Amino acid sequence: MADSMFQQAIDFINREADLLDHKAYADWLGLWERDGTYVVPVDIHATDFANTLNFAYDDHAMREMRVARLKNGESVSSEAQEGTVRSLSRFCLLDEDEASIRLRCAMFLSEVRLAKPLLYPANVEYRLTKTAEGLRLHTKVVRLINAGHHLNTVAFIF
Protein backbone atom coordinates (compact mmCIF):
# COMPACT_ATOMS: atom_id res chain seq x y z
CA MET A 1 0.00 0.00 0.00
CA ALA A 2 1.30 3.46 -0.87
CA ASP A 3 2.30 5.69 1.99
CA SER A 4 -0.26 8.29 3.02
CA MET A 5 0.31 11.88 1.91
CA PHE A 6 1.11 12.74 5.55
CA GLN A 7 3.84 10.07 5.64
CA GLN A 8 5.20 11.22 2.28
CA ALA A 9 5.40 14.75 3.65
CA ILE A 10 7.26 13.56 6.75
CA ASP A 11 9.71 11.66 4.56
CA PHE A 12 10.22 14.78 2.44
CA ILE A 13 10.90 16.95 5.49
CA ASN A 14 13.34 14.43 6.95
CA ARG A 15 15.17 14.33 3.62
CA GLU A 16 15.35 18.13 3.61
CA ALA A 17 16.85 18.03 7.12
CA ASP A 18 19.42 15.46 6.03
CA LEU A 19 20.46 17.62 3.07
CA LEU A 20 20.98 20.64 5.32
CA ASP A 21 22.96 18.70 7.94
CA HIS A 22 25.20 17.38 5.18
CA LYS A 23 25.56 20.80 3.55
CA ALA A 24 24.07 19.54 0.29
CA TYR A 25 22.83 23.05 -0.38
CA ALA A 26 22.43 22.78 -4.16
CA ASP A 27 20.11 19.80 -3.68
CA TRP A 28 18.30 21.73 -0.96
CA LEU A 29 17.63 24.60 -3.39
CA GLY A 30 16.20 22.03 -5.77
CA LEU A 31 13.44 21.12 -3.28
CA TRP A 32 11.91 24.58 -3.48
CA GLU A 33 9.14 26.14 -5.50
CA ARG A 34 10.53 29.30 -7.13
CA ASP A 35 7.94 31.47 -5.38
CA GLY A 36 8.52 29.80 -2.02
CA THR A 37 9.55 31.57 1.19
CA TYR A 38 12.00 30.61 3.93
CA VAL A 39 11.47 32.54 7.17
CA VAL A 40 13.13 32.69 10.56
CA PRO A 41 11.06 35.29 12.45
CA VAL A 42 12.31 37.37 15.38
CA ASP A 43 8.83 37.42 16.88
CA ILE A 44 7.75 33.80 17.27
CA HIS A 45 4.10 34.81 16.98
CA ALA A 46 4.56 36.80 13.76
CA THR A 47 2.40 35.97 10.76
CA ASP A 48 2.82 39.09 8.58
CA PHE A 49 6.46 38.42 7.74
CA ALA A 50 6.73 41.05 4.99
CA ASN A 51 5.91 43.82 7.45
CA THR A 52 7.99 42.47 10.33
CA LEU A 53 11.73 42.29 10.96
CA ASN A 54 12.93 38.68 10.64
CA PHE A 55 16.30 37.00 11.07
CA ALA A 56 15.83 35.62 7.57
CA TYR A 57 13.05 36.21 5.04
CA ASP A 58 14.29 34.62 1.84
CA ASP A 59 12.75 34.51 -1.58
CA HIS A 60 14.39 32.44 -4.30
CA ALA A 61 17.12 35.02 -5.00
CA MET A 62 18.03 35.40 -1.30
CA ARG A 63 18.11 31.60 -0.86
CA GLU A 64 20.51 31.31 -3.76
CA MET A 65 22.70 34.07 -2.34
CA ARG A 66 22.61 32.51 1.13
CA VAL A 67 23.76 29.19 -0.29
CA ALA A 68 26.46 30.88 -2.39
CA ARG A 69 27.77 32.60 0.74
CA LEU A 70 27.92 29.32 2.66
CA LYS A 71 29.74 27.55 -0.16
CA ASN A 72 32.02 29.98 -1.96
CA GLY A 73 34.81 30.15 0.61
CA GLU A 74 34.56 33.93 1.05
CA SER A 75 32.83 33.87 4.44
CA VAL A 76 35.11 33.20 7.39
CA SER A 77 32.24 32.19 9.67
CA SER A 78 30.89 29.71 7.11
CA GLU A 79 34.33 28.20 6.68
CA ALA A 80 34.65 27.80 10.46
CA GLN A 81 31.24 26.15 10.84
CA GLU A 82 31.81 22.50 11.71
CA GLY A 83 28.37 21.14 11.02
CA THR A 84 24.92 20.61 12.42
CA VAL A 85 22.80 17.70 13.54
CA ARG A 86 19.05 18.16 13.67
CA SER A 87 16.30 15.87 14.81
CA LEU A 88 12.68 16.34 13.78
CA SER A 89 9.78 14.83 15.68
CA ARG A 90 6.19 15.37 16.88
CA PHE A 91 4.89 15.78 13.33
CA CYS A 92 1.43 17.24 13.21
CA LEU A 93 -0.80 17.60 10.16
CA LEU A 94 -2.20 21.15 10.11
CA ASP A 95 -4.29 20.93 6.96
CA GLU A 96 -4.37 19.47 3.50
CA ASP A 97 -6.16 20.19 0.25
CA GLU A 98 -5.74 19.14 -3.36
CA ALA A 99 -2.82 21.47 -3.96
CA SER A 100 -0.80 21.35 -0.75
CA ILE A 101 -0.25 19.96 2.72
CA ARG A 102 0.76 21.86 5.86
CA LEU A 103 2.70 20.31 8.73
CA ARG A 104 4.33 21.36 11.98
CA CYS A 105 7.04 19.59 13.92
CA ALA A 106 9.58 20.02 16.70
CA MET A 107 13.20 20.52 15.71
CA PHE A 108 16.26 20.14 17.92
CA LEU A 109 19.32 21.39 16.08
CA SER A 110 22.79 21.27 17.55
CA GLU A 111 25.99 22.83 16.24
CA VAL A 112 29.49 22.89 17.68
CA ARG A 113 30.80 26.32 18.49
CA LEU A 114 34.10 26.97 20.26
CA ALA A 115 34.21 23.24 21.02
CA LYS A 116 30.82 23.29 22.75
CA PRO A 117 27.54 21.93 21.39
CA LEU A 118 24.82 24.59 21.19
CA LEU A 119 21.14 23.70 21.01
CA TYR A 120 18.47 25.49 18.96
CA PRO A 121 14.98 24.13 19.74
CA ALA A 122 12.27 25.32 17.36
CA ASN A 123 8.78 24.74 16.10
CA VAL A 124 8.94 24.46 12.33
CA GLU A 125 6.01 24.83 9.95
CA TYR A 126 6.05 23.65 6.36
CA ARG A 127 3.75 24.04 3.40
CA LEU A 128 4.48 21.51 0.68
CA THR A 129 2.88 21.67 -2.75
CA LYS A 130 1.74 18.57 -4.59
CA THR A 131 3.12 18.45 -8.12
CA ALA A 132 3.40 15.88 -10.88
CA GLU A 133 7.03 15.41 -9.86
CA GLY A 134 6.14 14.90 -6.21
CA LEU A 135 6.16 17.23 -3.21
CA ARG A 136 7.90 20.62 -3.36
CA LEU A 137 8.80 23.01 -0.55
CA HIS A 138 6.74 26.20 -0.66
CA THR A 139 6.97 27.68 2.84
CA LYS A 140 9.22 26.93 5.79
CA VAL A 141 8.90 28.97 8.98
CA VAL A 142 11.40 28.26 11.76
CA ARG A 143 10.15 29.57 15.10
CA LEU A 144 13.16 29.36 17.43
CA ILE A 145 12.00 29.30 21.03
CA ASN A 146 14.70 31.78 22.05
CA ALA A 147 14.23 34.08 19.03
CA GLY A 148 13.09 36.89 21.31
CA HIS A 149 16.37 36.87 23.19
CA HIS A 150 19.94 36.88 21.99
CA LEU A 151 21.26 34.25 19.60
CA ASN A 152 24.78 33.35 18.62
CA THR A 153 25.68 34.10 15.05
CA VAL A 154 24.46 31.48 12.61
CA ALA A 155 26.55 30.23 9.68
CA PHE A 156 24.23 27.44 8.54
CA ILE A 157 20.61 27.04 7.46
CA PHE A 158 17.95 26.11 10.03
Partner 1 sequence: MTQLIDIENVTADPGRLVEEGRVDKSLYSDPAIFAQELERIFNSTWVWVAHESEVAEAGAYKTAFVGRQPVIVSRDRKKNIHVLLNRCRHRGATVCEGKRGKTRAFTCPYHGWGYSLDGELRAIPKPEEYEGVIDKQELPLERLRHDSYQGMIFATFNEEAEPLEAFLGGAKKWIDLFMKQSGGYPLQVLGDHRFRFPGNWKIQLENTTDAYHFPIVHKSFISSLDDQTSEVFDFLDGEGFVEDLGNGHSVMVMIPELVDLEANLDDPIPERFAELAEALRAEGHDEAEVRRLVRAVGGTGFNLNLFPNVACSMAFFRVLTPISVDETEIHHVAIGGAGAPAPFNQTRMRLHEHFQGPMGFGTPDDAEGWERVQKGSLAGPDGWILVNRGLKRMAPSADGNPAGAVCSETGMRAAYQMWKRLMSDEAGE
114 in contact with partner 1 (CB under 8 A):
yes
40 in contact with partner 1 (CB under 8 A):
yes
Q: How far is the CB of 79 from partner 1 (least distance, A)?
A: 9
* Candidate list 24, 26, 68, 85; residue touching partner 1; CB under 8 A: 68
66 in contact with partner 1 (CB under 8 A):
yes
Q: How far is the CB of 57 from partner 1 (least distance, A)?
A: 6
* Candidate list 65, 85, 92, 112; residue touching partner 1; CB under 8 A: 65
Strand partners of residue 95: 102
Length of the chain: 158
Q: How far is the CB of 76 from partner 1 (least distance, A)?
A: 5
Nearest to 140 by CA among 12, 37, 25: 37
Pairing of strands 32-41, 134-144: parallel
The residues, any chain, with a CB within 8 Å of residue 153's CB and separated by 6 or more, are 77
Per-residue DSSP letter, 1: -
Three-class secondary structure assignment of 38-52: EEEECCCCCCCHHHC
* Candidate list 1, 2, 45, 50; residue touching partner 1; CB under 8 A: 50
CA–CA dist 129, 139 (Å, integer): 9
Residues that bind partner 1 (CB under 8 A): 40, 42-43, 50-57, 62, 65-66, 68-69, 72, 74-78, 80, 114, 148-155
